[in-house]
């Protein structure tokens, strides 16, 4: 292959790529993240290519399917470079107009622009859109420019420059010193200082050492790692090669969830391209350093995101966690020293090397440096991936970037840290987002899921949901985790069914403490967090469920009823036809009635009732009892 491939060659390639791209001044980038995929971005990109060919413009306009732009809510997203014109929710029928108007006549197509919901102002440029304005996209920003399946795109944007610098101008110790000075902490959840971790592993004497990229992003509601791997896989690979050089590892693994087929595909392709170029393998860039990367597909077990379980999984075993110490840095995979970092952590590395530890450490707070990518999801207007500097206020994320709560509902809580995290209530909106503050509030940074909940979310149900999850995913090794989480689910389920008693809260607290104390790995140690924080901040909702047998958020099926308001119903027969159990009676233009004894509370009637009629309501507590009494009186009369 390329024996003489070296750093100068890489520079030459970079220059050549930039030169060849100068001719194509305009580039239409179409977001190719999983969200936009589902909206049909591939067809949009194809249509652009066809239209450009038809008009014989292929030499001056480039169409590129890029990584995720983050603003998933508005997909499919198209950005026209170099101007940065931002078109959202673009459809096949819009393609011709974009080419003829925007590209040729340099006019903006107004209806495709993003409209600020409050001021109704149309916004032209991507960077002016409020969703992006307060973000600091140092890791994620390049996603929008890079075709992840083409290594040249990454190289053109100074890709693998950090690797050259490290291999030829820095010793391993200097690299570690730089990472330490930057203040980078692990982005997987626990926040251990990365430089320190590397140093420990480096100092262990061993013939073989391994490094791992943990891309087993199991937290429900978190998908930033996937977007990085899909959208900019080379930044992660470059980070890994640099890490391997610093630690002295010869083999690396990327452990990626099989639930992310596109990420598996893109990262596999990226590793092949890197190998082909000679940036992996023997004598990288002509230096004495050798390193290789294998891809490992996970097999659907949440616990394998835990480091010792993940290693057991790569070894081909059940993903059971191990007692620590010994830590993986001393005895990891196959008993050899192993360093494991999360996707986002690795992606930070080339940036720190290129721009310097000092530049990096200026971003963020005293103890939490740099940026963090969150997936802002749930009952929020602007769902998507946001990269913000550490120390930003929760309020800024939810209202300025996220655009507030959907349908003007009231904000109730935000859940961070996945099943290990907790819920943060409205009075903590001014919380600074950093490792310490989140832990103090009873939650944690976690991998970066941020699920927004509004007044229609029942916090007892949410706690039950998470415990159901951890109970299912507990590997079963430690008894308190295996049996304790099951007990928690049973108690919580009882409460949501209106069968809780007043001692249950005490039981939940005691049990939670035992599970925390008696579990080996983070799954068990943190599993009770959702219960503890919801009791701490939303105790009144538990009380309502237990004492009044009511669900204030109108979620828990056993505590609510559906009712058709006689004064609103127009008798359109829609709900009647859609009721799966024929519980609704009535005639055209006459008020419909739900038979509460037959009703299974599926919500189909509420779903189909036209919004301008909205005759179906949900009731709980006293009101529910009154309606039920009235109904039974009427039945008796008949």
Which residue from 2, 38, 60, 479 is in contact with other proteins, where contact means CB under 8 A? 38
Position 37 contacts other proteins (CB under 8 A): yes
Closer residue to other proteins in complex, CB, 198/253: 253
Q: Which stretch binds other proteins (CB under 8 A): 103-111, 151-159, 448-456, 482-490?
A: 448-456
Position 420 contacts other proteins (CB under 8 A): no
Rounded Cα distance between 333 and 341, Å, is 14
Closer residue to other proteins in complex, CB, 77/95: 77
Minimum distance, C-beta of residue 416 to other proteins, in the bound complex (Å) = 11
Position 598 contacts other proteins (CB under 8 A): no
Closer residue to other proteins in complex, CB, 152/415: 415
Position 87 contacts other proteins (CB under 8 A): no
Rounded Cα distance between 523 and 319, Å, is 12
Closer residue to other proteins in complex, CB, 148/183: 148
Closer residue to other proteins in complex, CB, 117/300: 300
Q: Which stretch binds other proteins (CB under 8 A): 32-40, 44-52, 357-365, 432-440?
A: 32-40
Which residue from 170, 445, 453, 576 is in contact with other proteins, where contact means CB under 8 A? 453
Site string for other proteins, 365-404 (x = CB under 8 A): ----------x-xxx---xx--------------------
Minimum distance, C-beta of residue 172 to other proteins, in the bound complex (Å) = 26
Minimum distance, C-beta of residue 131 to other proteins, in the bound complex (Å) = 12
Number of Cα atoms under 13 Å in the Cβ half of residue 524: 25
Contact partners, residue 556, CB within 8 Å, separation at least 6:
458, 460, 461, 496, 497, 498, 545
Position 603 contacts other proteins (CB under 8 A): yes
Position 318 contacts other proteins (CB under 8 A): yes
Number of Cα atoms under 13 Å in the Cβ half of residue 169: 9
Minimum distance, C-beta of residue 451 to other proteins, in the bound complex (Å) = 5
Rounded Cα distance between 175 and 194, Å, is 12
Rounded Cα distance between 371 and 379, Å, is 24
Instruction: Write out the two tokens for 324.
Output: 């620590």
Look up residue 79 and give its DSSP letter. E
Rounded Cα distance between 366 and 133, Å, is 24
Rounded Cα distance between 109 and 217, Å, is 38
Closer residue to other proteins in complex, CB, 445/451: 451
Position 150 contacts other proteins (CB under 8 A): no
Position 342 contacts other proteins (CB under 8 A): no
Rounded Cα distance between 84 and 73, Å, is 19
Instruction: Write out the two tokens for 486.
Output: 């099951």
Which residue from 190, 608, 613, 631 is in contact with other proteins, where contact means CB under 8 A? 608
Which residue from 82, 325, 580, 611 is in contact with other proteins, where contact means CB under 8 A? 580
Position 90 contacts other proteins (CB under 8 A): no
Which residue from 319, 349, 386, 463 is in contact with other proteins, where contact means CB under 8 A? 319
Number of residues that bind other proteins (CB under 8 A): 60
E strand or H helix at 372, and its extent? Answer: strand 371-378
Site string for other proteins, 59-78 (x = CB under 8 A): -------------xx-x---
Instruction: Write out the two tokens for 309.
Output: 């379980």
Q: Of residues 227-256, which lie at the interface with other proteins (CB under 8 A)? A: 227
Closer residue to other proteins in complex, CB, 74/372: 74
Q: What stretches of 462-606 adopt beta strand conformation (E)?
A: 560-564, 584-585, 593-594
Minimum distance, C-beta of residue 243 to other proteins, in the bound complex (Å) = 21
Minimum distance, C-beta of residue 144 to other proteins, in the bound complex (Å) = 17
Q: Of residues 549-578, which lie at the interface with other proteins (CB under 8 A)? A: 578
Q: Of residues 183-222, which lie at the interface with other proteins (CB under 8 A)? A: 217-222
Instruction: Write out the two tokens for 252.
Output: 């690396």
CB crowding 30-42: b at 16 or more within 10 Å, else e? bbbbbbbbebebe
Rounded Cα distance between 306 and 525, Å, is 12
Q: How many Å separate Cα 190 from the centre of its chain?
A: 17
Hey, is 603 helix, strand or coil?
A: coil
Position 272 contacts other proteins (CB under 8 A): no
Position 34 contacts other proteins (CB under 8 A): yes
Task: Transcribe 123-163 into DSSP letters.
Answer: E-BGGGSHHHHT---TTTGGGGT--TT-HHHHHHTTTTHHH
| Phi, psi dihedrals of residue 583, rounded to the nearest 5° | -90, -5
Instruction: Write out the two tokens for 110.
Output: 């107004």
> Other C-beta atoms within 10 Å of 170: how many?
18
Rounded Cα distance between 9 and 164, Å, is 11
Minimum distance, C-beta of residue 313 to other proteins, in the bound complex (Å) = 7
Q: Which stretch binds other proteins (CB under 8 A): 30-38, 180-188, 323-331, 347-355?
A: 30-38
In degrees, rounded to 5, the angle at the alpha carbon of residue 20 between the alpha carbons of residues 15 and 22 is 95
Closer residue to other proteins in complex, CB, 296/538: 296
By C-alpha distance, which of 489, 517, 520, 525 is closest to 504? Answer: 489
Q: Which stretch binds other proteins (CB under 8 A): 167-175, 340-348, 394-402, 447-455?
A: 447-455
Hey, is 194 helix, strand or coil?
A: helix
Instruction: Write out the two tokens for 499.
Output: 């069968």
Position 415 contacts other proteins (CB under 8 A): yes
In degrees, rounded to 5, the angle at the alpha carbon of residue 476 between the alpha carbons of residues 474 and 482 is 70
Q: Which stretch binds other proteins (CB under 8 A): 56-64, 161-169, 188-196, 307-315?
A: 307-315
Minimum distance, C-beta of residue 112 to other proteins, in the bound complex (Å) = 18
Which residue from 86, 374, 469, 537 is in contact with other proteins, where contact means CB under 8 A? 469
Position 448 contacts other proteins (CB under 8 A): no
Residue at token pair 């452990």: 255
Cβ–Cβ < 8 Å for 578, 604: yes
Minimum distance, C-beta of residue 337 to other proteins, in the bound complex (Å) = 15
Rounded Cα distance between 30 and 143, Å, is 11
Q: Which stretch binds other proteins (CB under 8 A): 244-252, 257-265, 438-446, 535-543?
A: 257-265
3-state SS record for 389-431: ECCCEHHHHHHHHCCCEHHHCCEEEEEECHHHCEEEEHHHCCC
Which residue from 317, 355, 547, 590 is in contact with other proteins, where contact means CB under 8 A? 317
Which residue from 266, 457, 519, 534 is in contact with other proteins, where contact means CB under 8 A? 457
What are 372's strand-pairing partners? 388
> Other C-beta atoms within 10 Å of 104: how many?
12
What is the contact surface with other proteins in residues (CB under 8 A)?
A: 34-35, 37-39, 72-73, 75, 217-223, 226-227, 258-260, 296-302, 313-319, 334, 375, 377-379, 383-384, 415, 418, 449, 451, 453, 457, 462, 465-466, 469, 473, 475, 578, 580, 602-604, 607-608
């Amino acid at each position: 292959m390329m024996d003489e491939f070296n750093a100068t060659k890489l520079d030459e390639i970079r220059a050549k790529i930039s030169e060849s791209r100068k001719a194509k001044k305009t580039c239409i980038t179409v977001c190719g993240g999983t969200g936009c995929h589902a909206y049909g971005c591939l067809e949009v990109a194809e249509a652009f290519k066809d239209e450009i060919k038809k008009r014989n413009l292929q030499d001056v306009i480039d169409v590129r399917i890029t990584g995720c732009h983050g603003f998933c809510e508005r997909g499919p997203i198209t950005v026209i470079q170099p101007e940065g014109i931002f078109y959202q929710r673009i459809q096949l029928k819009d393609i011709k107009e974009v080419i003829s108007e925007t590209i040729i006549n340099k006019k903006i197509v107004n209806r495709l622009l993003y409209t600020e919901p409050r001021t109704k102002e149309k916004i032209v440029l991507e960077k002016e859109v409020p969703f992006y304005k307060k973000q600091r996209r140092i890791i994620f920003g390049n996603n929008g420019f890079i075709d992840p399946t083409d290594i040249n795109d990454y190289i053109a944007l100074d890709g693998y420059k950090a690797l050259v610098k490290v291999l030829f101008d820095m010793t391993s110790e200097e690299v570690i010193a730089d990472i330490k000075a930057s203040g980078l902490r692990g982005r997987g959840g626990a926040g251990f200082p990365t430089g320190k971790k590397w140093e420990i592993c480096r100092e262990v004497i061993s013939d073989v050492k391994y490094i791992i990229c943990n891309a087993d992003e199991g937290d429900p509601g978190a998908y930033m790692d996937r977007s990085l791997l899909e959208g900019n896989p080379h930044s992660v690979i470059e980070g890994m090669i640099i890490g391997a050089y610093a630690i002295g590892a010869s083999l690396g693994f990327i452990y990626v969830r099989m639930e992310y087929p596109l990420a598996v595909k893109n990262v596999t392709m990226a590793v092949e391209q890197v190998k082909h170029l000679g940036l992996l393998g023997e004598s990288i860039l002509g230096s004495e350093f050798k390193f290789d990367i294998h891809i490992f597909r996970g097999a659907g077990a949440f616990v394998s995101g835990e480091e010792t379980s993940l290693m057991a999984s790569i070894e081909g075993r059940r993903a059971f966690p191990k007692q620590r110490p010994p830590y993986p840095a001393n005895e990891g995979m196959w008993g050899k020293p192993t360093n494991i970092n999360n996707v986002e952590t690795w992606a930070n590395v080339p940036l720190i090397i290129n721009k310097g530890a000092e530049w990096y450490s200026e971003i963020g707070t005293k103890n939490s440096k740099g940026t963090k990518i969150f997936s802002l999801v749930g009952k929020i207007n602007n769902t998507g991936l946001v990269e913000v500097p550490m120390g930003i206020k929760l309020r800024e994320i939810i209202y300025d970037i996220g655009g507030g709560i959907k349908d003007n509902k009231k904000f109730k809580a935000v859940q961070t840290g996945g099943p290990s995290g907790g819920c943060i209530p409205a009075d903590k909106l001014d919380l600074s987002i950093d490792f310490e503050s989140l832990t103090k509030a009873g939650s944690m940074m976690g991998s970066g899921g941020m699920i927004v909940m509004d007044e229609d979310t029942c916090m007892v149900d949410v706690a039950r949901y998470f415990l159901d999850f951890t109970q299912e995913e507990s590997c079963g090794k430690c008894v308190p985790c295996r049996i304790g989480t099951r007990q928690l689910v049973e108690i919580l389920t009882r409460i949501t069914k209106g069968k809780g008693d007043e001692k249950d809260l005490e039981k939940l607290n005691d049990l939670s403490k035992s599970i925390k104390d008696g579990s080996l790995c983070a799954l068990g140690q943190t599993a009770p967090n959702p219960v503890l924080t919801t009791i701490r901040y939303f105790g009144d909702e538990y009380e309502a469920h237990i004492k009044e047998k009511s669900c204030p958020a109108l979620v828990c099926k056993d505590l609510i009823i559906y009712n058709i308001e006689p004064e609103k119903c127009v008798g359109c027969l829609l709900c009647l036809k859609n009721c799966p159990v024929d519980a609704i009676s009535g005639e055209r233009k006459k008020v419909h009635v739900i038979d509460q004894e037959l009703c299974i509370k599926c919500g189909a009637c509420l779903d189909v009732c036209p919004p301008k009629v909205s005759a179906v309501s949900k009731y709980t507590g006293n009101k529910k009892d009154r309606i039920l009494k009235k109904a039974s009186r009427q039945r008796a009369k008949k």
